[in-house]
Structure formats: structure tokens, C-alpha cells
Amino acid sequence: MDRRAFLMTAALAAAGVGAMRHLPAQARGIPAAAFPELPRDVCYPGPPATTIATTVIDLFKIGPGPSSSHTLAPLRIASDFRNVLEALPPETLDRVARLRARLHGSLSATGKGHRTDRAVLAGLLGQKPESCDPAVMDALADAQKRHETSIGGKRFTLGHDAVVWDTVEHAFPFSNTLIMEAVDAEGKVIVSREYYSTGGGFFAWKDQPEAKRGAPVHVYGSMAAFMDVCRKTGKAPHVVLMENETAILGLDAAAVNAHLDMVLDVMIAGVELGLREEGLLPAPFEFYRKAKRLHQEALKLPEGERLMQLVSSYAIAVSEGNAAGRLAVTAPTLGSAGTMPAVVYLLDKHVRVPREALRRGLLFGALAGYLCKNNASVAGAEVGCQGEIGVASAMAAAMAAYATGASPEAAEVAATIALEHHLGMSCDPVGGFVLIPCIERNAFGALKAYNACLMAKSEIVSRHWEDFDRVVMAMLQTGKALPPAFREMGTAGLGMTMVDC
């Protein structure tokens, strides 16, 4: 084996690509004969044989910023642990003297900048993500204050000492690990649960039983398989997706549409609120909001330049709100919460896309997100920023294309182009705050998304070689090959070079 072949094989092995179960390769792809010198063992093995059962309610979660993995998921985890405590027999709960959250990995490394401690306290105090007022999170900043709550009829007093910034290096299966513990007066653990924040506000725990949900009507694990379903059933993608949503969730289409409408409304409201707000964002250095100014200046620009800056201002408006702890939507994460809303706002206010078409577009955008989440990752701590802003851009591109009447194949190409041109992007937030580079990065994610949509709608789709499944696999491989310091540790790249020693 020559050096190039060895390096490629080693990279694939390191990414665990070879270990995945794969379906037979699809016909799409560049024929191997075009590259006779390439080793055959690194050719595309086909999309992974997974079954997508993620829904729009899982993917598009509403909660306070700034980070889905470091703020929203810890809040949801602490809220879940509160439920665990409430279900304890009274005699067991009576022995609990203290509650403790031990943060590991990137949660420990950058949790302070992401308000992980406040999120854990908010969840333990009974706050729910979708209704958690930013003022509540602000009030939890004071490390001297203690807060009363009743769990299962027992009174607890909680403060910042309930949060332990534990080991960054660890052997747990997920980087973002959070161990919730209820301990007695001697410090002995009575109940504990090992939770994992798996990106996009999702969480799981060790030995979690399989959730009881309906089975999807249409089985697919890749974009290629999804398109096959559409072709074989003769159904449009949004119909196939909606049939799966209702079957898995046990809801009717009206309820799913109500969630889609809530997502669209929160996104639009986030843009409009962010365009009104000014001043400093919470940070240990002077960091000013700029969306309002960018928007005002955009309106003075010549027509040819205006739209680009308007879209940037929309994305930055939502991202600044997210950094300030305002409610935002995980699309797919809160770090990337500005990308899709900017494109939604563009479609709604400038292109005048009707609400029904926006809903359909959102479903197709969700499809791109499902495939990235299930076949790679949407966590910056796992695959870098390509999994957050890159995936958000792909989702927004697919949404925009489908909502504006592109064919399913063109919508796939739009998602493919957008994701492809984020490959390799590391996650290096300065000081662990979702400010630099995150806020501006959302503007670029949105602009790339719309550019990808326009390109895909204008080209001859059958001549486009790259397909979504292959680019998702390339993202996974690239992400796994990124050094850990470039995966949300804040200890490399901009996270280091922006700081004067």
C-alpha cells in the first residue's frame, strides 16, 4: 500500500467509518475508472443502514440560549432528574440531603461561558425550557444567592455549590457528560444518573430504556433511501415526512403543523426582537450587539448589496438574542440558532412564501437535519462547527429550495452544496462564549444556504456529482479527525489566538 492509500485508510479507520453497517452503494458517484490510481478500499461504502425516527419536535426545540448542548440540554437533564427524584419513595427522598451535578468534558471546560451552572440550577428549581424567562437565568448568576424549591414535598436549598466542574478528560462515551446525584448527609450517593448531552439539546442517559413511540410508516436511513421511498410511493417528500411524524409521535397533522408554526413564529420573533435590541452582551469583555446597526446601514445600501447585509443582520439578530439567553430554536443547535431564522425571515418577508410552503420547506430542512444527526453528529464537541453551522446551513438551503418550489432532487443538491462548503470547520469559541466566532458565523451559514439554494435551482441537477449522504459521511470522517482542542474546548484556533497572554 502506498503512503496516500495508507493515510486514507487510516483516516477512515480512525473515523470508525469502516465499522458502520452500510447498504449497497448507490449508482450515483464518480466511477472508480476516473481515478485508476486510487485504492479501492477507500471508495464509498454506501450510506449507513440506520432508520430515522427523529421528529420535528425532537429536532426543533425551544429554549433559552446560548448553547443547546451546554445550556438547553443541561436544563432539560436537571428537569428530568427532578422528575426522577419526585418518583422516589418518600422514605428514600427523605434521606436526600443535597443535590449535585458533576460536569465533565467540554461541559466542564466551557460550561461557565455557556451558563451551564445556571441551566442546571434552573432545571432543578422546576423551570421548563420553553417557558424559562431570561430574567430567571440572569437571577441565577449570583454565586452567593441560594434558592428554595420543593421536590416531592421536600424542601431543598440550592446554590452554585450544587455544580461541580469535574474532569475535562474522561472515559465516558460522550464528551458532554453530566452526572446528577442525590446524596445523603454523609455524602453517600443515594440516587444518580449518568447523562449525556448529545448535541442540539438532545440528551440520553446510561442504560436508558428504548422510548415507547410509534414506528415510522416509511423506513429510510439516508437521503438516497428517502428519495427511493418518494419515487416508489409516488408521494411528495413533505407528505412522506408528515406521515412519519404523525405515526412516530402519535399526533395528527394539525398538531405537527402547530409545532412547525410555533417554530416559525419563534424564529421570526427572534429576528424582530434582535433588530430592536442594542448594547452589551453578557461576556467578561466588552462585546456589543451590532444587528440593529447592520440592519439600519443595509437599508441605505444600493439594491444589489442590500439583501446580503439584511440577511446577515437577521442571522446576527437571533444569534445575539441567543447569546443574551433569549428563547431560540435548536436548528439544529442553539449555537447555530440564527442561520435558519435568517432564511425563514427572507422567505417570509422578502420572497413572500406562503405559510403552507414554509411548513413544507421546514419539513424538508428537518430531513437534512435528521440525516446529519443520525449518520454523523450535530454537536460541535463531536465533529466541530461543521456539525452546527454547517448542518444549519444545509437545513436552511434544503428548506429554501423546497419551499420555493424546487424539485426534491434540487433541494437535496442545495443541502449538499451548503454542507460541503462547511467541511473542516472547527469549533473554537473564544473563552467558551457563544460570541466569537459563533454570531457572525450564523450570518455566513445563512448566506451560504441561500447561495446554495439559488445554485441548486439553477443547475442541471443530474450533472451534480456530490450527494448528501456522501457529504454527511465526509463530515463525520473530518470531524472525528479534528483534534479534540478544535471541538468546543475553546483551547485552540480563535479560542486561543484571540486571547493576549
Residue ranges that bind ligand SF4, judged by CB under 6 A: 335-336, 380, 385, 388-389, 427, 429, 434, 437-438, 441, 488
Residues with Cβ within 8 Å of 251's Cβ and at least 6 positions away in sequence, in order, are 245
* Minimum separation from the CB atom of position 318 to ligand SF4 (A): 12
* Minimum separation from the CB atom of position 224 to ligand SF4 (A): 27
* Minimum separation from the CB atom of position 439 to ligand SF4 (A): 8
Give the nearer residue to ligand SF4 in terms of CB position, either 63 or 221. 63
* Minimum separation from the CB atom of position 493 to ligand SF4 (A): 9
Q: Which three cell numbers stand for residue 363?
A: 419539513
* Minimum separation from the CB atom of position 92 to ligand SF4 (A): 39
Give the nearer residue to ligand SF4 in terms of CB position, either 257 or 333. 333
Residue 248 and residue 471: Cα distance in Å, rounded?
27
Give the nearer residue to ligand SF4 in terms of CB position, either 125 or 327. 327
Q: Where are the alpha helices (DSSP H) in 140-181?
A: none
77 by DSSP, 3-state: which?
helix
Give the nearer residue to ligand SF4 in terms of CB position, either 369 or 429. 429
Give the nearer residue to ligand SF4 in terms of CB position, either 162 or 489. 489
Give the nearer residue to ligand SF4 in terms of CB position, either 190 or 481. 481
Chain-centre distance of CA 44, in angstroms? Answer: 26
Q: What angle do CA 431, 158, 132 make, to 5 degrees?
A: 65
Residue 328 and residue 63: Cα distance in Å, rounded?
6
442-478: b (≥16 Cβ within 10 Å) or e:
bbbbbbbbbbbbbbbbeeebeebebbbbbbbbbbbbb
* Minimum separation from the CB atom of position 177 to ligand SF4 (A): 18
Give the nearer residue to ligand SF4 in terms of CB position, either 216 or 380. 380
Question: Which residue's C-alpha cell is 436544563?
Answer: 75
* Minimum separation from the CB atom of position 4 to ligand SF4 (A): 30
| CA distances (Å), origin 427, targets 11, 135, 218, 336, 493 | 20, 28, 35, 12, 8
